Structure 1
């Protein structure tokens, strides 16, 4: 069964020394979207005493969010940087999660959308003036649709869309991105189509979507998937590169799927940085109205967007991409590919291979055994010369546990680069006894 892990984690607990209470910036925040550096902070992990470098600030709707907000305000004010803010508090009521998905997930979550709305108001009062990247609800859209189980939670998905619109309205200085899930989920035709259709139904002023690193997939394939979604929606995107720079990310999808919690040989990926898509400050996200509840695309939607001509409807047929199989076929016929084993090699930084156009510096960025080529292209709603990638970001914090070796959300430096594989002795799903994980010391990496 497909393992869906996304970024279902607890935020790290950091000491709050030198973080003033009720921080107030004495002047207007000077960070500029697409231009000012992305925020990187070094904080001290309370449990281990180790310094931790992170790029994203997670807001969970829990009691420790106050200090996280102080760190956001202080760094954005004093350093004139752009923070990455992650909302991860989707309500527990009304959403059925797979057993595998909740295995390491904390039970401490808010319960209702009403509570969610209260938190949004609170966050907006504190943070709305700060230019920021906002990533909304890692893995949530994945959990509203499982094609294998014939599960689709449209009601929950629409409730979420309403909150996306609220965030866009409240955080007018920020670019908002809805998480589209990870490559392990998006490799399947029905799942990818679900995400594309869900994004088309989002508010017209949504900046874009994010691809998370929950399955440690390399940036080459993540960009191929993201470009497909960008092609069909016109939305820009950010890619999480926090943990896909090591040898583990050169494995096939099937091999990665065997060890998706605290896997071996993972390293930091590309450093957080703006990419060429961010130069496009104003744009129109095109969407196909494929639901009776939605209006047809028009040229009069509000917001900082360009007016577009929709007289000529693009071809939205997926036949050329997917064929008749559930596994997604490759859209690009890669010039200069060499064959090794059962599939093509994708070279890092090769634009023709969906690479990062020179920005992705990770080594060994390739995949094997992705299936048949299908070189027929579909018509895109996004302009052919428009770059969709806004930024590489670290949504997940490198060194943060997924739950296999240590409690989820705790920091351990040894989680980067260790060699302990997932085996019958050291399984990726650690068994529980009376609700307590039975982690073996021999299956843990050791911090130096």
Structure 2
């Protein structure tokens, strides 16, 4: 059959979709981009925020119209929202032929066989107790890049977060499996491995064999080649001094870290159950900046958490101005089912959340713009991902993570190959993006 995919949400969801694609292709199915030509469409949903759930429902309903027009035979929902609301989705959306969750997507071929025979299937089961999220993958990332998922689930139990409810407890992947997959990607010529998980800094604590993020980095560093390792989603409370030293000494880990801080007010950090104090967070940031030269930091903050006062919010604004993160993602608190924060007193009105979100974004926009302007005149290594026009290519430098940060547009009179590193002289800034000019031949 011809099967189309829509993958919503985070990079971790993308990896799950890529594995499903690989399993389907191995079974003889074709993966296609044009949904109107597909026999089956699989929508891998996100369930982390209310907006994400709404987007997933809208996408399911839009795709269901293809069935109404006779252009699509079957429609399947997968992922986090399916894990939470499987039967409700089947009850409310008759066009859905099946749902599968985070623990059953490896059974996608069996599910399709049942659906093709006329069954309507709820294949959602509780989260598994070990790491199962691996298999053949069809990469959907830009050229030269692959995400490497090292763990699933989370033990932190932040009071606002439904991820442990949806995806279960921390389940680390074996170190040898991670290195084997990474080695395969490097052998294919990929230039960037983005390490992901719900909390990669907690990697290995469930394995019982002393494996941790430091050991994993050292093992990955033994793979020869010219490539980047990028670390994302590192919980500040789980990032140790030993890990920081390993990151600083690594040959391939680039000086870019994604460290979601969420807030700085002590009262809010406590209510969020973030497992560290304000001072511990400040100490960790200072330790990072001292240990890693030219460190680029991305973070995430949340505004409008229950009980967030004007003073709490002002403390957050002052903190963002003080530390001048290179990149910052901000979102307003959204109460999630079955979480502690959903039932807290002193819920912040939506209009106050919106105003605070606008303000924090405005502060960060100025900071990021100035950070980018300070990079003008530098020559940077750029990973070319695509061609935009005859003499213009799109790529990223080490200070730009895929999908969440800006890009670098590279002007070149000579053809460049997607997935290669080139050197570019940075000559301009456009909003969050950089403009560069090729400075010499692309590296091979």
- Sort the TM-score into its range (normalised by shorter chain): 0.3 to 0.5
Pick the structure with greater CA Rg. Answer: 2
More strand as a share of residues: 2
Q: Which one has the bigger helix percentage? A: 2
With CA pairs under 8 Å and 6+ residues apart, which has the higher RCO, 1 or 2?
A: 1
